[in-house]
A and B are shown apart, each in its own frame.
Chain A
Amino acid sequence: MSQLECVDLVKAYGGKIALDHVNLQVPKGKIVGLLGPNGSGKTTLIKLANGLLTPNSGQILVDGKKPGKDTKAIVSYLPERTYFADWMSVEQTLRYFSDFYEDFDRTRAEQMLHQLGIENKMKIRQMSKGTREKLQLILVMSRDAQLFLLDEPIGGVDPATRDYILHTILANYNPNATIIISTHLIADVEQILDEVVFIHNGKIIEHTSVDRIREEKGMSVDAYFREVFKCSENW
């Protein structure tokens, strides 16, 4: 069974189609890049997968089930923006995750935070943007979830933080779980991906593996992506 499956999935905001009859199967045990320009439908797809939005038609299934209480227990979601309130301390975020998620491994999270020198009593408002992103990623990756949905995990952070984030994703990766990473910074994530899904104007235009693109096209996914999307401007 696929970890994530979309069948003829349609989502529109008012009259504007965000996802246009999407069919997609993401297997278990893979790290998948959801790649597309801004406004292509990446975030909409991720929000549908964790039940924050509902489809207009068609369906989306996580582990064979419609998004809901059962799937929330196995899906770990990193939103595009950090959502903790400024007044919260690291300790409070740790408790928050412990309360909400049975599969949260507090010891693992604290170890990673400790390595970064982030103390439990530190407040969110005292943190730089990069540190906030790291904290949130550490919390999200410290769950023993089946499906990780990471929406732009490396957007807007410096290269050292980017390296740390990618390293943390790999170091915590459980080979039976699936990770979906949405981004337009392809060159940075290419090495850690198994498969890539190209999305444009709400349509899936390519779903293949990183090494297949390199084998068949003789170029990186980043270069291929630029080529595909250069042509697509003429559509």
Chain B
Amino acid sequence: MGWTFEGDQPIYAQLVYQIERKIVSGIYAPGVQLPTVRAFAAETGVNPNTIQRALAELEQIGLIQTQSTSGKFVTLDADIIHDIRQMLAEEQIRKFLFAMTNMGYTATEAADLINQYTGKDDEEDEPTGMC
């Protein structure tokens, strides 16, 4: 399932981030039951108390809910999932722009490069380039 942990950040924080990504990408779909703490520990190789801490944080954000009898579930609230997805995306964009401005690009130039790379600009640009 691909759980890897880096050395420079708390393990619980990395777990929160990785589970968030699995939720916003639909690997853990809305309303689906999450593995138990024990199962999570076995799957990730991480200490059960650390798992507990990560799940508590996800619960506080509202991404997961506890039903006392039957365990923890991904929220059905599409707005929360959407917001977190947006937040994770913005985080990636900030990182990208930081790296680009370090290389001397402006934000607009960086955006143009993305459009070129994904081929969006091609349709508009190519006719002039053909001449």
Contact = CB atoms under 8 A, between A and B. Distances in A.
Interface of A: 29-31, 163, 166-167, 170-171, 173, 175, 191-194, 210-211, 214-215, 218-220, 222-223
Contact of B45 (A192, A218, A222): A192
26 contacts: A29-B49, A30-B49, A31-B47, A167-B42, A167-B45, A170-B42, A173-B38, A173-B48, A175-B48, A175-B49, A191-B5, A191-B11, A191-B46, A191-B47, A191-B50, A193-B47, A194-B49, A210-B50, A211-B50, A211-B53, A214-B9, A215-B10, A218-B8, A219-B7, A220-B7, A222-B7
B41 A170 contact: yes
Contacts of A163: 45
A175 B70 CA distance: 19
A144 to B, nearest CB: 15
A219 B10 CA distance: 9
A210 B49 CA distance: 11
Interface residues of B, number: 19
Contacts, number: 59
B12 interface: yes
Interface of B: 5, 7-13, 38, 41-42, 44-50, 53
A162 to B, nearest CB: 11
Contacts of B11: 191, 210-211, 214
Contact of A170 (B10, B12, B13, B48): B48
Nearest to A29: B49
Given A167-B42, A170-B41, A170-B42, A192 B7 contact: no
Given A191-B11, A191-B44, 4 more contacts: A171-B42, A210-B10, A215-B10, A223-B7
B121 to A, nearest CB: 40
Given A191-B5, A194-B50, A211-B50, A166 B45 contact: yes
